[in-house]
Amino acid sequence: MHVFQVDNAELIESITQQAKEAGVTDGAIVSLIGAAGSFTVSTMPADDASADVVTDYGQPAEMLGTGEIVNGAVHIHATMAVAGDLGVSLEPTATYAAPKDSRQVPLTGKRTTRPATRPDDTKPLRGASVTATAAKLTAARPWGISRLAPYPTTVQLPHATVTVDPATQLGVFRDRAGQVVEMGKHGTSSGTETSTTTNSDSDSDSDSANDQDSNQD
Amino acid sequence: MPATEERPVLVATEADDVTADMVITELNRRNVPVVRFNPADIGAGLAVSARFGTCPAAVAGRVRTPSRVADLAQVRAASRHPGDAQRALELVEPTQHRRRTP
């Protein structure tokens, strides 16, 4: 087992160099932990697994990741935690520098799209299904949250308790003050939908479908 | 303890049931004894003892609510749900209450 420490350097470059010096050409990076002053990540467009979306983030982040070394090439997937307790999952490709004073930079990366340029010799181990796990989360509200709304038809029940009257065996509805409230009578509902009719005269074309309708009172 | 009702109708439903109230109102109008209970109240609010033996032992048992007592051997009809309202009235007076034809 080797422990590589990266101080004030670009992450991939430094690990590649240290692995080479340690004689490691193939291996698993079982743990990657630390912080970066700025970082650049690579993800894929939603509709194209063969392209990379490269995004530069000019702000510091905590980093947790794992990866592999294949034929000396370092390949890392990591999750970056940035200000506001937000996480960015990604495949970092470059530019890990020492922390600097960039805390005011909002989480909006500069984004470019380029064709995939990964080394051919790593492709057998890095199929689309593997690299597809890299994704980016932004601070946007989940879409479903925007769909939330109070129930439009809530009603306040007029009674708080219901008891059975000993003399009549009827339900007695009382409000919170103990006053009997009148619950009214059950309404009746009647369907007023029209039925489907089919004209027996096959020459005419006057069939009509049914309309759904009902009355409730 | 309340007196045992004479040939009562059992109405098994919850207290909050305005449909059952409509049935019970009609039964009261006809002076038919009603014992209303909620099976969920069994315990302090409802006590049941019953025996369903083979011949010659007859059915025996009691249902006791805080306000009423029914002798199971005397029960004339039972309505278990507001959906049974029409059926309950039929059981009480079969000739006068026909189920509406669909």
Q: How many domains does chain B have?
A: 1
Q: What is the ipTM of this complex?
A: 0.71
CA angle B55/B48/B21 to nearest 5° reads 115
Q: Do residues A5 and A14 lie in contact, with contact meaning Cβ atoms separated by under 8 Å?
A: no
Question: What's the pLDDT band for B33 if we cut at 50, 70, 90?
Answer: very high
Predicted local confidence at residue B28, as pLDDT: 93
* Structural domain harbouring B33: 9-92
Shortest CA distance to B32 belongs to which of B72, B12, B55, B5?
A: B5
If you ran DSSP here, which 8-state letter would residue A199 be given? -
CA distance A156 to B3: 39
| DSSP codes, A119-182 | -GGGGGGS-HHHHTT-----SPPPHHHHT----TT----S-SEEEE-TTT--EEEE-TTS-B--
CA distance A3 to A6: 10
Calculate mean pLDDT across residues B79-92: 56
Domains of chain A: 11-138 (3.30.1330)
Is A200 touching B (CB cutoff 8 A)? Answer: no
Instruction: Assess whether pLDDT exceeds 70 at residue B42.
Output: yes
Instruction: Say if the Cβ atoms of B17 and A163 lie within 8 Å.
Output: no
> Which residues of chain A lie closer than 8 angstroms to B25, CB-CB?
168, 170
Q: Nearest by CB to B17, which of A163, A171, A184?
A: A171
B3 located within any domain: no
CA angle B49/B55/B60 to nearest 5° reads 20
B29 located within any domain: yes
B39 located within any domain: yes
> Which residues of chain A lie closer than 8 angstroms to B67, CB-CB?
164, 166-167, 169
The residue length of chain B stands at 102
B100 located within any domain: no
CA distance A68 to A41: 17
Predicted local confidence at residue A204, as pLDDT: 54
Predicted local confidence at residue A105, as pLDDT: 39
B99 located within any domain: no
B87 located within any domain: yes
Comparing alpha-carbon positions, the chain B residue that sits nearest to A164 is B15
Instruction: Assess whether pLDDT exceeds 90 at residue B8.
Output: yes
Comparing alpha-carbon positions, the chain A residue that sits nearest to B34 is A169
What the block records as the tokens of B48 is 């049941």
B2 located within any domain: no
Please give the average pLDDT of every successive group of 10 residues along chain A, which has 217 residues.
82 87 87 83 82 81 86 86 78 46 42 47 34 47 81 75 89 86 60 59 59 59
Predicted local confidence at residue A99, as pLDDT: 42
Predicted local confidence at residue B26, as pLDDT: 92
B15 located within any domain: yes
Instruction: Assess whether pLDDT exceeds 50 at residue B69.
Output: yes
Parallel/antiparallel/unpaired status of strands A51-57 and A110-115: antiparallel
CA distance B54 to B61: 14
Parallel/antiparallel/unpaired status of strands B9-12 and B77-79: parallel
